[in-house]
Each structure stands twice: as structure tokens, then as C-alpha cells.
Structure 1
Amino acid sequence: MTTANEPKKDALIWPEEGESRVPYQVYNDPGIYKKEMDNIFRGSTWNYLGLEVEIPNKGDYKTTFIGNTPVVVTRNSDGSIHAFVNRCAHRGATVCMDTCGNAKTLTCVYHAWVYDMKGDLKGVPFKNGVNGQGGMPEGFDTGKHSLQKVKVDTHLGIIFGSFDHQIEPVQDYLGEKMCGYLSRIFSRPVKVLGYQRQDMKNNWKLYFENVKDSYHASLLHLFFSTFGVNRLSQKGGIDLDPTGRHHVSYTYGSLNEDTDVYKNSDLRSYSSKYQLEDPSLLVGRNEFTDGITLAIQSLFPNMVVQQIHNALAIRQLLPKGTDSCELVWTYLGFADDSEEMTKIRLKQSNLVGPAGFVSLEDGGVGELVQKGIVGADQELSFIEMGGTGVESQSFRATESSIRGFWKNYRQFMGY
């Protein structure tokens, strides 16, 4: 007998078609969600935690999540970076309640247990009791009551964390190809221009699918196709790492490119009647020598790196339940940017974020799917654009990278 609050049993049987069919049950089942947190986010994966530039000084810290597990990332007094679960070893209370700050120690407000910036327990009030009464039992060892440690690795100033302390180095996990794409941006010192947070009423996987879905970009987003930021008629492609879990969608765009393929198709997403009140929004600079004007890179399971012309950002995906997730946007520039270049980046960042000219629709379409699949656990999505395989392709009218996500998802989940 099960209680009302107990996740129902995971009885999912994956369809024989493989990655080109996805049961809608995976977006609705609380038991599957719990298994994802255990097998993927708390499993053998590297999760994006932040940037070194966000904690530059000794004693700096920031709070974040790995899946639904709260985590603190710190810069210790010796300059080393550490991460640990934000949960007191005493009674489970949240230890660090601020999003960021600087401190020598972290103290749990409940019973004032004190931890250093490596997460080690350093002080317990009244450990020896009061007036010879009470206190901790004989043999109590503070060294056995540290905060749960998270393995940390960094690459190009990006901080990753994993609950698997035997996991391969992060560069091996990402692979040479994905590290190469990261180096386009992170081989130069970056600076943080700002943050935004976005709540979405849909399962986390629907957003990650959307990020990998180059097919929708110029169909859903009127701004992209109308103003020539991203069209499927432009030169570009999809690049996957050998496992298929990570991907990059890239475009060599031109604002003056012929639009007949959109004009003649009578698509909702293209309209010549729209004009920009401020055309300088799309006036930028060609700053990448490879000529790529738009690149969206996803790193399994929770990180997206974005270059849309000169708008640079990291998106961190945080699951919040079967039908809810949060997206944390970190907007970036380069440390040596001029004031004019920073203004260009900030202006173009109006394309993205919770109310962006483009991203506004991404934040809503996942909810449309979540609403549409209620009561449809036995039904399947159909993912055969560009074939049924998982491979890099020199075009973007494809769902290859989505199939790559589901291939790896099935491996982690045992389906």
C-alpha cells in the first residue's frame, strides 16, 4: 500500500523505436523524477556550478544547486575551490542562506554549528554540556560530521561539481570537441554583466530538449526569422560529441540573406511588416574568427552556453519538480571589453532572458507541452526530423541532438 505523497512506482518500458520516440510519462511521473535526481544529477555527471570569476577572493562563496540538492561553492583561504551540500550535518537545516558573500566560516542558524570554507565542522556550542550536564557523548568526533563534500573540477574558469568522487576529469567528460567550442569564449578572461532568474512551469527535460532543437528556432521565434538573426536557410549545422550527450548548434548568419524560403512558405514566424524602432539592437561586431554568429552549446545535464551575435551568456537549468524548473542566466562580457562593447552586449541581451524578444517564447512553449500531455502517459512524442540516428549534421532541420539527449538519458536511467 502506498501513501498519497509517495512517488508512484517507475514502470516505464521504453518503446522499441528507441530515441525517436519518448513516452510522455517521463515528464509527469514523480517516481521517474526522483530517479533522475539520483541517477543523473547525483550520479556520474559533471554539473555546472559557476565561474571562478564569481568567487575571486579568499572567503568568497555562492549558493546553487545540483539537480534539486542545495550546494555551496567556496574559495578557501589557500585559494582552492570547494563545494559541499548546503545541509547541516546536525539536523539538516540550510547552512548558508545568502546567494553569495564573503566569510571566514559558515554557521548554521539553527544550533550554531560552525563550518570552515572546506565544509569541515569546526565548532559545536555546548559540546561538553553545561555545568557538567548534557553535551555530546564521549568520543564525539567533529571530523566525522563535515558537510557532504562535492567533487570539484574546473576548466577554462568554469566550475563543475559531481557527487561521484571517482568520475573522470571534466575535460574527458566533455571531450575534445566540446572543450574546443568552450574555448571560443572562455579562452579569454570573462566578466559577469548581470543575472536573471526564470521560473518555468514545465519539466526540466522539456527545456533541455528545446535548447537542442534547432528545428524550432526560426519557426517559433518571429524575431529570429524576420530580422535574419537565425534562419534554417543560413549556413550552419549540429555538432555532437562522440557520446551524443553534449551538442552545439551553430549558424553563419547574415542579416541581408535572401528570405524567399520563408516568404514563400507563408510562415507565422516571418513577417515583413515588423520593423525595429531602434535598429542598433542588431548592430554589433564580428568578434569570432570562425565566422559563427550564433552558437548554442548544451552540456549534459544542466548547462547551456550561448553566443547570439555579441550576447554571451550561461544558462543553468535547475529542476524543481515534475512540472517546474528554474533557469539562471549569467550574462557575460570579456574583461578587456571597452565601454562601447559592453553596451552592445547589454543591448543585444534584450534578445534573451525571461522577457527577451526571443527567449520569452521558449519560456512559454514548454508549459504548452506540459499542459498538452496531461493524462497521456502512454502516448509518445515523434522525433524523426533529420533521421533516427544520433550524429553530427551539416544542417539544422534536424532533431539529432535531441535524440542524443535521450540516448544518454536512457543509459543513465537504465531504460
Structure 2
Amino acid sequence: MNAPHAPSTIWPQAAVTQVPYALYTDPVVYAREQERLFRGPTWNYLGLAQEVPDAGDFKTNFVGDTPVVLSRDTDGSLHAWVNRCAHRGALVCRELRGHSASGTHTCVYHQWAYDSRGDLIGVPFRKGLGGKGGYPADFDMAKHGLQRLRVECVESMVFATFDNRAEPLHEYLGPVMLANIRRVLGRPIELLGTTRQHMSGNWKLYAENTRDSYHGALLHLFYPTFGIYRPAQDSAAVMDQGHRFHNLFQIMTSGSGGDVSEYQNKGMRAMPAADSLADNRVIEFKDDYGDGISLTIQSLFPNVVLQQIQNTLATRQIVTRGIADTEVVWTFFGYVGESEAVRTHRLRNINLVGPAGFISMEDGEAVEIVQQGLVGVEAGAASVLAMGGDSDADLDRLGMDENSVRGFWRGYREFMAL
């Protein structure tokens, strides 16, 4: 992944220490992303298996801009297909989620019906009526099913790809990423709820944000003020050992991290130490895994984050809504059988994140002010991504480099051929 790229008109620099602003604003780039990234040989997150637990359950979603459905068949298998009727292109399923007792999904427009695998099973008046009308005798139902995606799972996470060239999911993720997924999802889970966050900005600004440890204790004043994260704490940033475009941030409870006065003495913003919470239980950490890791942010290319922030557990799916519109879908979960006290604490912890979270709300604002700043930007202008040089090496301390962001961009360039 460190090989230099041939210059292109969009990205003439060989290194990824400068990222052209046109990548966030050019509709040609956005269309190319839909083709080469979201419909290319990548694995896109669709949801948690627990969202469609029973036969006949379904969930509508998107892979890039393409509407898709995740469904559970009678044999328990999971299937994904494009949510676009083979007849005239209408949406087949219009609800966010639901259940079909018969396992049939019917387009409201002309009543073409499909099973849970996306196969066409019903066409009204296919043979006409009274010897008149109907489709030709050679009309083949089997050739008019919905476009299917290949589906694979790791623990509870369900991924899909349009491209049969994509390597198996476990190889795509690699052992380092799989280890943390199994750490967080290696026991039965229960869904707690979903929130949706809209951002008026390009999806890659949020993808960068989740990989950017530099901003963590600078933008999010809640982190250093209440000791959830300060750069002096023990921490690590690791990349997948194959592609180098997936990454994992970890913060341990060990290490003093300093205090707020260190920030103020260096002229950095920090909330006064006198500012306190009315209820400190919202920031309490209970070690779910016995390893002392209080925070993990795992970003999987191209469209999902698996997070553990204190005791709040969630996936975040990045959904493209247009060149300057992004939706982040947060799906929160806990563990089957956990005590009422633990569940109550986990629900309380959710106040840290999501659209109005004490920590996460600033990320949406950061995405939007960058997009606003790019209005009218001159041709050839680029961001500076040089902290730590041009490396994407693993690190034993967060907040002092931009290695993981560069890893994302190297993977992006490879798929986009830029």
C-alpha cells in the first residue's frame, strides 16, 4: 500500500501528504466512487444480524447511493438485493425495517412479487386475460429477479459486496481487525436503539474524522476535561496488516494523562476544572473485557465504525446522500444477560455519543465547517496531511500523527485508480 501512485489530473501528487480539495466537491469524483468503491471489490457494512432475527424480517439500507434490502430467509440465511423492482425500477420495500409473514416482498406499483432471496415469484396477468395481452411465451421469471449482493458475516456484523472479485471478508479485514471485532461482538448481543445524524458534508470528511486522533483531545474538550482521553494516556493506533486501510484506536485506563492545567498552560482550549457534571456516573468506566481498554474506535473501509467509548457500544454506518450530504446511522447494543445495573449504566453512557452526544456532536460540526470552507476553493488546492511524514505505521501513542488518515487515502487511491 506504500507504493507511489502514478500522477492523475485529479491527484497529481504521488504522496498522500496533500489531499486535493476537489475530492470533496467534484461530482465526477463522486460518481466514480459509487462505481469503483461502493460497487467495486470492497465489503460494505449492512447492519447487525440481530436487526433481522427471524425469517421474513427485512431492513432497507444503502450501499453508497444504491438502495438495498437485507432479508432473513426461512432457512435462517441472510440475503441482500437491490431495492429496485425489475419491472419499472420502483422501490420494492419502503419501510426502514419490517416483517413479511409470507416471506414475499411486493412492489406497490404493478404488484410484481419477490421472495426473501430476491427471486421473482409473481407477475400479475403474466399470461394475459381471456387470451388477450400478457407477456411473451418466452418471458423467463428466473431472469427477472432482483440484483443480488454477496453476503458474508463476522460475528454479528453483516457485510455485502456487488463485486465477485472481492476477496473473502475475513481476508479483507485481516487478523488484527478480526481480533477486536471478536473482542466486542464475541458474545450474544441485544439491540438498544438507533439514531441518525445528518451532516452537510462529503462522506470522506467523516471517514477521515474517525481515523484522526490528532483532533481527539483538541476538538472534544469533554475528553481532556473529564479524563476520558488525554494524549499522555497509554494508547495505540494499529492498522490491518494487509491493506493498511482499516485501523483501530485503543486507549487504556493506565497513565495519568495529566490534568486540564497542562492544556491551559500551552494555550490550548480546555474547559475549566471547576466545570463539573451534575451526575458523574455518565463518565464512569466499567471494564467489560478485563483488559483495561476504555476506548476503541475501529474504522473499517469504506463505510463503518465499530466503537467502544467507555461502556457505550455501537456501530456507525456512513451513508452517502450526495456529494455534500452524509448520514451516519448509529446502532447501539448491549450484551444478553447483563444485569439491570449494567444495562442502565450502558444506556446512561450513550449520552456521550450520537448526534447530540457530549463528545460526538462536534464531529458533525467539523465536517460541515470544512465543507463550507471549500466553497469557491481554487483549482489544485489541497489539505495538509503531513503530521508523521508519509507513514502509515502503527503507533504506540495517539494524537501526534495522521498515519491512519493516510492509510485511508492510500486505500482510496488504489480502488479509485487516482
**Normalised by the shorter chain, which TM-score bucket?**
over 0.9
What is the alpha-carbon distance in structure 1 between the residues aligned to residue 310 and residue 254 of structure 2?
10
Match of 2:247 in 1: 247
Cα deviation for residue 400 of structure 1 reads 0.2
Match of 1:395 in 2: 397
What is the alpha-carbon distance in structure 2 between the residues aligned to residue 77 and residue 29 of structure 1?
44
Match of 1:147 in 2: 146
Please, which runs of 5 or more residues in structure 1 have no aligned partner?
1-10
Task: Please list, as runs of the form range in 1=range in 2, the aligned pairs for 1:166-315 lying within 5 A after superposition.
Answer: 166-242=165-241, 243-253=243-253, 257-259=257-259, 260-315=261-316
1:323 equivalent in alignment to 2:324:
yes
Find 2:408's aligned residue among 405, 410, 414: 405
1:28 equivalent in alignment to 2:25:
yes
Q: Secondary structure at the match of 1:320?
A: strand
Identity of aligned residues (%): 46
What is the alpha-carbon distance in structure 1 between the residues aligned to residue 403 and residue 165 of structure 2?
30
> What amino acid sits opposite 2:356 in the alignment?
A
Whether the 8 Å contact between 1:202 and 1:323 is mirrored in structure 2 is yes
Q: Secondary structure at the match of 2:187?
A: coil
Whether the 8 Å contact between 1:229 and 1:254 is mirrored in structure 2 is no
Cα deviation for residue 257 of structure 1 reads 4.1
What is the alpha-carbon distance in structure 2 between the residues aligned to residue 163 and residue 250 of structure 1?
32
* Cα displacement string for residues 272-304 of structure 1 (whole angstroms, at most 9, x for unaligned residues): 231101111112311222211111000000010
Match of 1:5 in 2: none
Cα deviation for residue 195 of structure 1 reads 0.3
What is the alpha-carbon distance in structure 1 between the residues aligned to residue 10 and residue 366 of structure 2?
27
1:47–1:387 distance in 2 versus 1, CA, 3 Å: same
Whether the 8 Å contact between 2:234 and 2:255 is mirrored in structure 1 is no
What is the alpha-carbon distance in structure 2 between the residues aligned to residue 166 and residue 412 of structure 1?
13
What is the alpha-carbon distance in structure 1 between the residues aligned to residue 171 and residue 208 of structure 2?
24
Whether the 8 Å contact between 2:263 and 2:269 is mirrored in structure 1 is no
* Cα displacement string for residues 66-124 of structure 1 (whole angstroms, at most 9, x for unaligned residues): 11111101110111111000000000000000111111200000000000000000000
What is the alpha-carbon distance in structure 1 between the residues aligned to residue 369 and residue 66 of structure 2?
27
Q: Secondary structure at the match of 2:16?
A: helix
What is the alpha-carbon distance in structure 1 between the residues aligned to residue 188 and residue 322 of structure 2?
35
Whether the 8 Å contact between 1:203 and 1:322 is mirrored in structure 2 is yes
Q: Secondary structure at the match of 2:60?
A: strand
> What amino acid sits opposite 1:264 in the alignment?
N
Whether the 8 Å contact between 1:222 and 1:271 is mirrored in structure 2 is no
> What amino acid sits opposite 1:139 in the alignment?
D
Cα deviation for residue 264 of structure 1 reads 2.0
After TM superposition, the runs of 4+ consecutive aligned structure 1 residues lying more than 6 A away are none
Q: Secondary structure at the match of 2:94?
A: coil
Q: Secondary structure at the match of 2:81?
A: strand
Match of 2:385 in 1: 383
1:274–1:368 distance in 2 versus 1, CA, 3 Å: same
Task: Please list, as runs of the form range in 1=range in 2, the aligned pairs for 1:89-100 lying within 5 A after superposition.
Answer: 89-100=86-97
What is the alpha-carbon distance in structure 2 between the residues aligned to residue 256 and residue 407 of structure 1?
35
Match of 1:132 in 2: 131
Match of 1:350 in 2: 351
Match of 1:79 in 2: 76
What is the alpha-carbon distance in structure 2 between the residues aligned to residue 201 and residue 386 of structure 1?
29
Match of 1:46 in 2: 43
Whether the 8 Å contact between 2:213 and 2:401 is mirrored in structure 1 is yes
Whether the 8 Å contact between 2:113 and 2:120 is mirrored in structure 1 is yes
Please, which runs of 5 or more residues in structure 2 have no aligned partner?
1-7
What is the alpha-carbon distance in structure 2 between the residues aligned to residue 151 and residue 38 of structure 1?
16
What is the alpha-carbon distance in structure 2 between the residues aligned to residue 49 and residue 297 of structure 1?
16
What is the alpha-carbon distance in structure 1 between the residues aligned to residue 363 and residue 253 of structure 2?
21
What is the alpha-carbon distance in structure 1 between the residues aligned to residue 391 and residue 285 of structure 2?
37
Match of 1:367 in 2: 368
Cα deviation for residue 52 of structure 1 reads 1.2
* Cα displacement string for residues 7-61 of structure 1 (whole angstroms, at most 9, x for unaligned residues): xxxx733232511110000000001000001000000000111111111111111
Cα deviation for residue 165 of structure 1 reads 2.1
> What amino acid sits opposite 1:275 in the alignment?
S
TM-score (norm: length of structure 2): 0.94
> What amino acid sits opposite 2:389 in the alignment?
G
Match of 1:7 in 2: none
Cα deviation for residue 157 of structure 1 reads 1.9
